[in-house]
Amino acid sequence: MKKIDAIIRKSKFTEVKNALHDVGVNFFSYWDVTGQGHEKEGHVYRGISYSTTDIQRRWLSIVVNDDFEKITIKAIIESAGTGEVGDGKIFVSDIEEAYRIRTGEKGGDTLN
């Protein structure tokens, strides 16, 4: 099993969510986060300069069976990308075991 953490633009969340559902990833957790990025300049909108040092993003945490790793990553990259600085990051880690609390069942079947 793999854990995929993705930090994406909040504006792309609906597209990413739909892309994940389209490839069969129907369960994941997410929350709003604030972070620091490489971008140091502010943006000007209607003549007002806004600081971009604190970046609002959405963090997705997804656990999938090994055979869904590449499909999941591809769906995120294709739906979250804009080609601009600040599109986000994806981190992949190994998951040793998973348990379903209700039944005590363990293993990859707990993800279904």
pLDDT tens string 29-60? 999 998 876 665 566 667 776 665 677 899 99
Residues 83 and 98: their CA atoms lie apart, in Å, by: 35
Helix (H, G, I), strand (E, B) or coil at 15: helix
Give the mean pLDDT of 59-64.
Answer: 98
Maximum distance among all alpha carbons in the chain?
Answer: 58
What pLDDT shows up at residue 12? 97
Residue type, 41: E
Percent of the chain with pLDDT over 90: 71
Q: What is the pTM of this model?
A: 0.84
Q: Is it true that domain 2-111 has CATH number 3.30.70.120?
A: yes
